[in-house]
Structure 1
């Protein structure tokens, strides 16, 4: 009985992984292609379609690497690198006119 439950859990995990891959690759890839085709259809501009392709590629790269991006950001928040933790601030008391503050 326990072995059957372990097999069912393994099968469910495999099914969830396949569904996630379908949405990541299939649906996101289709959205990417359709968005480029939409921009091209509306503008007939190679430049704008290229910008849409590059922007979509950046979004897809972030989505595909979401786990590593999340871990990297979390690690940076926990352990900030660098020797200084504060920021340098410059305070300006008064800004005069451009002619040298003559009245």
Structure 2
């Protein structure tokens, strides 16, 4: 995701990243029950998400997956879960739960 690289380089602010993310498709590992496939890492629930099927396939051999828009993911995100966009890539981006919520509040539409 080009926006993740621009954000990491300081060429894109968090509000602009949020807007790009909301409209972008994301790919997720599908658990056996409805919801998200989260991993526990150092006491945090982290949901790996991917900007492409290629990025997903390069990270896991898990075969079940689903596609959604970033906006849909954000509205269904379990509380206090962090997101990790494209883990294992040179543009991997950790999105903290508190930062996601703060930016979402800043960008709410009336």
* Category of TM-score, reference length = shorter chain: under 0.3
Which has the larger share of strand?
2
Higher relative contact order (CA 8 A, sep 6+): 2
> Computing the radius of gyration over CA atoms, which structure comes out larger, 1 or 2?
1
TM-score normalised by the chain length of structure 1: 0.21
Which protein has the bigger helix share?
1
